[in-house]
Amino acid sequence: MASGNMKMIKRRIKSVSSTMQITNAMELVASSKLRRAKQKAKTGRPFFDAQYQMLTELAQQHIGLETVFTQKRDVVKNRLFIVIAGDRGMAGGYNSGMFKLVAAAHKDQPVPKIIAIGKKSVEYFEKRGYEVISKYVGLAENVKNAYCADIAGTAIRMFRRGEVDEVLLFYTQFVSSMVQKAADIPLLPIDTPPLEQNAGSKSRLLNYDPNPEAVFNRIVPNFLMSLVQCAVSESYASEQCARRIAMENASDNAAEMIGRLSLLYNRARQEKITNEINEIVGGANALS
C-alpha cells in the first residue's frame, strides 16, 4: 500500500515540477516584455498630451465651438465600443475584468457594435453574438500608427454617418506594477474641459487659419489615433504585469504543493522502511 502511494506521489511531484518550470519561464518572459511595454507607454504620452492641450485651447478660446465631433445626439440609439483585451490567457483577472466592465456599460441599453482588439476580445464577442465591426489580433505587442489610424477612422466614419451616436474606448489603465484598472473613456462626441485661467489667457494670443473649426476637425483624427495608441500601449503593459503576477503566484503555489507532496512522500517512505524492518525482526524472532 505504501509503495503504491509513493509512486503516485512521485508522479504528482514530477507533474507539478514541470508545471512550475513553465510558470517560471512565463514569468521571466512577462517581466522582460513588461519593461519594454512600460517604456513604450511612457514615450507615447507626450504626443497625446500635446494634442489634447491644443483641443482644450481651441475650446477655451472659442466658447460654443460647434463641429460634428462635439455635437451630442438628442437620443443615443446606437453605440460603438472599442474594446482592448489580451491576445493570450493566463493573466489572472486581466481579461475577465475588462469584459465585466463592458457588460455593465450596456446592461440596460441596446447591444453595442464592437471593434475588438486582441484575440480574447474577438473570441468573447463573436461567441456571444455581438456585431463585430473590425478585428485586430496581435496588435498590442507591436502597435503601429496605421492600425490605430484605421481604428480611429472607422469610429469617425460611423459617427459622421449617424450609424452610431456615441463611441467609447475600453482599456486597462496601468496604475502601478501591482495595480491595473479596467477603465472606459468617451471618444465621440468630444467633451473638452476648460483650461486653467492662465492657460486660457495664453490661448487668446493664437490665430487659427482658416478658422478654429477647421483646425479642430483636422486635429481630431490624429488625437483619437494617439488616444487609441496610448490605450493599447497601457493595456499591453497591464497585461504583461498581470501575467507576471499570475505566474509568480502560480510558481509559489506549485513550490508550496511540492513541499507538501515531498513531506507525504517521505512519510510514506519512512512507513515502508519501518514495515520492512518489522518484517525482518518478526522473521528473526520466529527463527529463534
How confident is the model over 66-114, as pLDDT tens digits?
778 878 888 888 999 999 999 988 888 889 999 999 999 988 888 999 9
What nine digits make up the cell of 270? Answer: 519512512
The whole-angstrom separation of Cα 224 and Cα 187 is 7
- The stretch 49-57 carries a mean pLDDT of 68
Beta bridge pairs of residue 82? 115, 169
Q: With b meaning 16 or more CB within 10 Å and e meaning fewer, what string describes 155-169?
A: bbebbeeeebbbbbb
Residue 107 or residue 205, greater confidence: 107
What nine digits make up the cell of 25? Answer: 519561464
How confident is the model over 153-165, as pLDDT tens digits?
999 999 999 999 9
Predicted TM-score of the model (pTM)? 0.80
Residue spans of the domains in the chain: they are 26-245
Q: CATH assignment of 26-245? A: 3.40.1380.10
Lowest mean pLDDT among 130-144, 196-210, 265-279: 196-210
Confidence band of 200 (pLDDT split at 50, 70, 90): very low
